Amino acid sequence: MVTPVRALPLAQLRERSSEKWREYPDDVLPLFVAETDFPLAPAVTEALERAVRDGDTGYVASRTPLAAAYAGFAQRRFGWTVDPARIRSTADVSMGIVEILRRVIEPGERVIVNPPIYPPFFDLIEEAGGIVQRVPLRDTGESWELDLEGIERALADGARAVLLCNPHNPTGSVPSAQSLDAVARLAEQHGAAVISDEIHAPLTQPGVPFTPFLASGDAAQRIGYVVTSASKAFNLAGLKCALMISASDETTAVLRSLPIEVEWRTGQFGMLAAVAAFTPESDDWLDGLLVTLDENRRLLGALLATHLPEARYRMPDAGYLAWMDLTGLGWGPNPSKQILRQARVALHFGPAFGAEGAGHVRLNFGTSPEILTEAVERIARARATISAARG
């Protein structure tokens, strides 16, 4: 039987020194940045405690168990066979994206993204010398899908790379294997590369098919890269460890061409924690976390239906981020400002995710039911107060 993972008490969370708990005053409920409120997986805690006790705080080694640990995790969780020899590590997913982009595009070439999209994607492409090419997701009314026709037009017009988010942030949607394979074949046809950010993959809900990009077909293996990490599922972002994965001799040669400094930026604690997260000892904890996130995504839907029926919310299939359309509240293109000011709840700004984010917010439900309930009730009270003031 799976034991749900429960969030820490609010008073204990406020003792944390991370961005989530230091950006705003204590009267604000912080549900903006992608940090969770759960205790660490026991195996991760043990690995870090052992390292501190032993003074194991030096440089990360050139040979570590990280690649083998991830290969085992990918096989167990996704049915994906990964060759550990085709994995390199770095500090975080963003750094991995930039370093690969620098190898697969020339300065001034365009890179496709699918907004609304994780805001740093825009900056990462510019950092790598590229130009953002927007091909928005298609909203079918029931789900979000990759716009394959739009991607094909952009590639035919000269875009040299596609930067995917699989599963997608902020919508929590999970592209089908067929759509990923189609993207790969289009990219190969036009001589482009595909980089797939799969940091939220371990948080795909049971019953929802998740396909790693490199497992979607032969074309993906020839032209694709996966960049991933334990940091979102296991809340390890501050420890700095991510993986860059290839599946062909050509793409592996690209990863091996990266300066050794790219790999040495991997954090020693990050590597140790990731190994512990990816081993079978942490599987039960991750299963329990998924149960809790399932409860919370459903609770959020019920709270919105009761207190904020104007909100449009589609339950995500992966992750702990909710993409909410609050246009019906009449709070302008960036309702998070009004919510912060009037309700003292911090949400991520919708417009930061692209023009498609106007009127939207992103809410992190990786917290306790009590905090989630209080946040929605605060927003509802603010709406009532504002409506009364308007007469």
Q: What is the pLDDT of residues 188-232, one digit of tens each?
A: 999 999 999 999 999 999 999 999 999 999 999 999 999 999 999
What residue segments make up the domains of the chain, in order of their start? 10-39+283-390, 43-279
CA 246/CA 256 separation, integer angstroms: 10
Question: pTM for the complete prediction?
Answer: 0.97
Q: What are the start-end ranges of the E strands in the chain?
A: 29-30, 87-90, 110-113, 131-134, 138-139, 144-145, 161-165, 193-197, 224-228, 242-245, 312-313, 321-325, 345-346, 348-349, 360-364
What distance in Å separates the CA atoms of residue 169 and residue 310, rounded to the nearest whole number? Answer: 23
**Fold of the domain built from segment(s) 10-39+283-390:** Aspartate Aminotransferase, domain 1 (3.90.1150)
Question: 214 with 91: CB under 8 angstroms?
Answer: no
Question: Is residue 269 a contact partner of residue 239, using CB atoms and an 8 Å limit?
Answer: yes
43-279: CATH number:
3.40.640.10
Q: What share of the chain is helix, strand, coil (3-state, %, to 5)?
A: 50, 15, 35
In sequence order, the β-bridge partners of residue 133 are 112
Name the token pair of 67. Answer: 């690649």
pLDDT, position 203: 98
pLDDT for the residue numbered 388:
78
Share of the chain above pLDDT 70, in %: 100
> How open is the CA angle 30-347-355, to the nearest 5 degrees?
160
DSSP code of 119?
T
User: Which residue stretches of the chain have pLDDT < 70?
Assistant: 391
Distance CA 30, CA 21 (A): 7
Q: Residues, the chain, total?
A: 391
Give yes or no for a contact between 361 and 324, defined as CB atoms under 8 angstroms apart. Answer: yes
- Give the CA angle between residues 35, 132, 323 to the nearest 5°: 35
Residue 353 host element (H or E): none
